């Protein structure tokens, strides 16, 4: 059990020592130490409540870089006042143990006051891939993400940062952000890790009742059936209407969006589009699920 956050945690001898910092100066010093010996730095930003999907990103970062930093920060700026900030699952002890198991080198646990001190006045407002889809339903969301990701990148100064396909629009937003602001950080996307029944792993799956959890994999199943309909030549509008009706009949709803987009720009598809992505967000009871697949 992790009892307190001492600078260096190694509670089971066989596990990797995990450095934990709340403080920016301490983080910067450790990062300087890593870099002084020429080591490359991978970074995985998270909001905690870690599951295998997050841990795969850490393992992937380990395979690409000498040292890996994970941040755990539930970012208030990406939650609207009506959303689940207060309820968002927080499982710090289990998170730290899991990070040790996968060989994370440093966990950064800033407090909201440190990230957004009194007088904080900056907001990164993006167009391009940030428009539409999530933004139509969560208009505050990508400014919150872009602002905190920029701040964390300035603090951690990684060579590489890993983001999950699970939040596909977020991945495209971060790629654009890094390019637009010449941040010089390589952004790597990693496939969605799923439960054996196909449900995309998510910290918010903990909100689902037993009955809802049994229904939830139907989202991935329906996305795949929709993809098959498209491959078989059903016109896009008809295929989407059919999948929409399937989801509503199964007990999901409301559906925020179910859309076929260009995988790179997230704009509308046309006959010249090489890579396509199906993206969906919908409600199951009081839980909002998102998922996407290549199409």
Question: Catalytic amino acids?
Answer: 54
Angle CA 45–47–49, to nearest 5: 120
Determine, following the binding rule CB under 6 A, whether residue 153 of this chain makes contact with ligand AMP: no
CB of 202 to ligand AMP, least distance (A): 5
CB of 192 to ligand AMP, least distance (A): 4
- Say how many C-beta atoms besides its own lie within 10 A of residue 1's C-beta: 7
Where does this chain touch ligand AMP (CB under 6 A) — which range of 175-183, 186-194, 212-220, 257-265?
A: 186-194
Q: How far is CA 45 from the centre of its chain?
A: 8
| Contact with ligand AMP (CB under 6 A) among 46, 71, 157, 292 | 46
Determine, following the binding rule CB under 6 A, whether residue 62 of this chain makes contact with ligand AMP: no
Determine, following the binding rule CB under 6 A, whether residue 134 of this chain makes contact with ligand AMP: no
Determine, following the binding rule CB under 6 A, whether residue 205 of this chain makes contact with ligand AMP: no
* Largest separation between any pair of C-alpha atoms in the chain: 59
According to CB under 6 A, which residues from 251 to 280 bind ligand AMP?
none
Q: What are phi and psi of 290, to 5 degrees?
A: -125, 150
Determine, following the binding rule CB under 6 A, whether residue 202 of this chain makes contact with ligand AMP: yes
DSSP collapsed to 3 states, 84-110: CCCCCCCCHHHHHHHHHHCCCCEEECC
Determine, following the binding rule CB under 6 A, whether residue 291 of this chain makes contact with ligand AMP: no
Burial 52-76 (b: 16+ CB within 10 A, else e): ebbbbbbbbbbeebebbbbbbbbbb
| Contact with ligand AMP (CB under 6 A) among 5, 26, 143, 201 | 201
Quote the radius of gyration of the chain (alpha carbons, Å).
20
Residues paired with 224 in a beta bridge: none
CB of 268 to ligand AMP, least distance (A): 24
Rounded to a whole number of angstroms, the distance between the first and last alpha carbons of the chain is 44
| Contact with ligand AMP (CB under 6 A) among 9, 18, 42, 53 | 53
Determine, following the binding rule CB under 6 A, whether residue 54 of this chain makes contact with ligand AMP: yes
Total binding residues toward ligand AMP, as defined by CB under 6 A: 17
Determine, following the binding rule CB under 6 A, whether residue 290 of this chain makes contact with ligand AMP: no
Give the dihedral of Cα atoms 56, 59, 65, 68; nearest 10 deg.
Answer: 90
Chain residues in the site for ligand AMP (CB under 6 A): 46-47, 53-54, 56-57, 163-164, 166-167, 190, 192-193, 200-203
């Amino acid at each position: 059990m992790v009892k307190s956050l001492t600078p260096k945690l190694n509670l089971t001898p066989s596990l990797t020592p995990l450095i934990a910092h709340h403080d920016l100066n301490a983080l910067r010093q450790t990062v300087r130490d890593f870099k002084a010996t020429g080591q490359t730095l991978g970074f995985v930003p998270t909001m905690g409540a870690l599951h295998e999907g997050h841990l795969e990103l850490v393992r992937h970062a380990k395979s690409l870089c000498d040292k890996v930093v994970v941040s755990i920060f539930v970012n208030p700026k990406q939650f609207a006042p009506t959303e689940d900030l207060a309820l968002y699952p927080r499982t710090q002890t289990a998170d730290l143990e899991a990070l040790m198991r996968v060989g994370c080198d440093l966990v950064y646990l800033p407090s909201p006051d440190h990230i957004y001190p009194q007088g904080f006045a900056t907001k990164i407002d993006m167009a391009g891939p940030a428009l539409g889809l999530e933004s139509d339903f969560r208009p505050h969301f990508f400014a919150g993400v872009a602002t905190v990701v920029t701040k964390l990148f300035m603090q951690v100064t990684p060579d590489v940062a890993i983001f999950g396909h699970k939040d596909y629009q977020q991945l495209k937003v971060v790629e654009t952000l890094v390019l637009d602001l010449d941040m010089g950080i390589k952004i790597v996307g990693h496939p969605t890790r799923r439960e054996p029944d196909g449900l995309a792993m998510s910290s918010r799956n903990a909100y689902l009742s037993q009955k809802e959890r049994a229904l939830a994999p139907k989202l991935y199943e329906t996305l795949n059936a929709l993809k098959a309909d498209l491959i078989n030549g059903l016109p896009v509008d008809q295929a989407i209407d059919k999948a929409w009706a399937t989801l509503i009949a199964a007990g999901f709803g409301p559906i925020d969006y179910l859309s076929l987009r260009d995988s790179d720009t997230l704009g509308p598809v046309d006959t010249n589009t090489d890579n396509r992505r199906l993206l969906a967000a919908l409600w199951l009871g009081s839980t909002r699920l998102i998922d996407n697949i290549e199409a």
